[in-house]
A and B are shown apart, each in its own frame.
Chain A
Amino acid sequence: MVTPLRVVIALCLVAPFVAMLWVGSYAKTDPVVIGIPFFYWYQMLWVLLSTGLTMIAYKLWQRDQRARSASKGGASK
């Protein structure tokens, strides 16, 4: 069943794919930060962003599961 919550979960999980597979968006040197070219620090930044997104997805998923088991009288998890 598609609920708004699940759409958000899906978006959180899909976002890293769009960002990372679109190599053209980050294949450049500038801006350089503390001597590290954009290409490198941007991808490392995405490690943190994707972690954050996965965490959000995890929390939302837990909420989704609780809602579901409540509506089913706690029969399934």
Chain B
Amino acid sequence: MNDGVNGVALAVFLFFFLLVTAMGFMAARWRKAENEHSLDEWGLGGRSFGTWVTWFLLGGDLYTAYTFVAVPAAIYAAGAAGFFAVPYTILVYPLIFTFLPRLWSVSHKHGYVTTSDFVRGRFGSKGLSLAVAVTGILATMPYIALQLVGIQAVLDVMGVGGGETTNWFVKDLPLLIAFGVLAAYTYSSGLRAPALIAFVKDTLIYLVIAVAIIYIPIKLGGFDEIFASASEAYSQTNPATGAPRGALVPGDAGQWTYATLALGSALALFMYPHSITATLSSRSREVIRRNTTILPLYSLMLGLLALLGFMAIAAGVKVQNGQLAIPQLFENMFPAWFAGVAFAAIGIGALVPAAIMSIAAANLFTRNIYKDFIKPDATPKQETQVSKIVSLLVKVGALVFVLTMDKTVAINFQLLGGIWILQTFPALVGGLFTRWFHRWALIGGWAVGMIYGTVAAYGVASPTQKHFGGSAKEIPGIGEIGYIGLTAFVLNVVVTVVLTFVMRALKAPEGVDQTKPEDYTADAGDPGVQVELPPATAGSSTH
């Protein structure tokens, strides 16, 4: 992308990278618990995080490097359609407010580490729990791979990624080093490492956005100019489709797509294992509710960030690969040292979620595949060991994925992952509020949703791709274009309800429910709620 290596930017980038590496390893000693050989400790940070740590952790987790690169990239490519990320993150918080405290309570009461643990306990079905676990792992893997794509974009723009002619090993070496380091401290420190690093990440991100949103418009002559040149660029005909490139506001045809994408993505977000891991690591259910009132600060940031996509157009950034639009904008607009800060923000922004995601996927494997099906008598120490190793394997898998396959494959799978993970919603959220659904009906609904979603996504063509060209398709029976994930979800619910009536009529066995109604509202300090793993030292410096 670049003529040479940007030395100053690279030096600043390396400084921050070394800083967070040191923090990552030191995190093992932060708020350490008496018994460090348990999954609660390694995989949930001792379930001890207060409001602020949880805020940084969730923010660091949900607003990933890929988000920072992809959302403005979507705006850069097509305009208004990419802005759905903002209503999507607005809708997430009322949802969290409603159902996550219940999940927190029941998980603390029964020591659940993953969503599959809960589903198994609630419906007494290892099969349903396995379906949820496998879906979670499948959906998380490409997400981790996309974090690598985020780092790659930054490295490319800094000029250390090498050109097309560079030897593949030299080209990928920086990425290999970054991920080697990440893997090492995640292994040794568990969830504490990303929790601590998230402070640095978010401070940098907020700083960069604040500067970018003031400095760049001044340089470009104000928002009037920016939107005028963006509007002109969108009206140009795209030679591949014969239609305009995009629009500043969605037309009538695009409104269903916009709304269904926002709603479907919001419903899906908290089905992802890494969101649940960050939530369960909080100290009390109050922490979660309080967080829903301060987390939207990130949505505001995301909205401002999205506007950078317009600025990239106005600044005349021309890139083939839209993912490079924002890093290139920073490189063009900022002095070298501040571009380095911005790149560090994106790079570290990839490390935090990648760590949490690999931990979450590892927990799912350990608890719901290893312990349920391979070694039921595993001790907590063995569980932790397996989880640590699996977290490494998951990252290696993601690395292989990115290095051997085309980037678009990772993006396609991420798109599928979103559709898939949404299909666990009825079992999880349904289960939190009612035991009415039958466990086998939930498996049936899940299967139908998964199959419909995959087939439908496969059939979407775009100018550049024959399959998986997008995530929107005509909704059967309505005729509007809508998000495939949401259509699959509605189908899933309908099948689940119908099958539940059928199972009831056939008197199919219900399974044993471990939970009691009062478990869903219990809070820390109530009788029977374990205050998990008391910290060895009273760590109160962070809240």
Contacts and interface: CB of A to CB of B under 8 A. Distances in A.
Given A17-B91, A58-B292, A76 B521 contact: yes
Contact of B83 (A16, A39, A48, A53): A39
Contact of B255 (A12, A27, A29, A48): A27
Nearest to B222: A35
A8 B107 CA distance: 28
A24 B255 contact: yes
A77 B223 contact: no
A7 interface: no
B289 A61 contact: yes
Interface residues of B, number: 44
Nearest to A21: B259
A20 to B, nearest CB: 4
Contact of B87 (A43, A61, A76): A43
B290 A50 contact: no
- By secondary structure, the A interface counts as helix
Given A24-B255, A36-B227, A43-B83, A77 B523 contact: yes
Nearest to B96: A54
B433 to A, nearest CB: 14
Interface in B517-535: 518, 521-523, 526
A60 to B, nearest CB: 11
A48 B83 CA distance: 17
Interface string B286-328: 0001101100110110011001000000000000000000000
A40 B307 contact: yes
B290 A16 contact: no
Contact of A27 (B222, B250, B296): B250
B250 A13 contact: no
A22 to B, nearest CB: 8
Nearest to A55: B293
B296 A23 contact: no
Interface in A22-48: 22-24, 27-29, 32, 34-37, 39-40, 43-44, 46-48
Interface of B: 80, 83, 86-87, 89-91, 93-94, 97-98, 222-227, 248-252, 255-256, 258-259, 262-263, 289-290, 292-293, 296-297, 299-300, 303-304, 307, 518, 521-523, 526
Interface of A: 12-14, 16-17, 20-24, 27-29, 32, 34-37, 39-40, 43-44, 46-48, 50-51, 53-55, 57-58, 61, 76-77
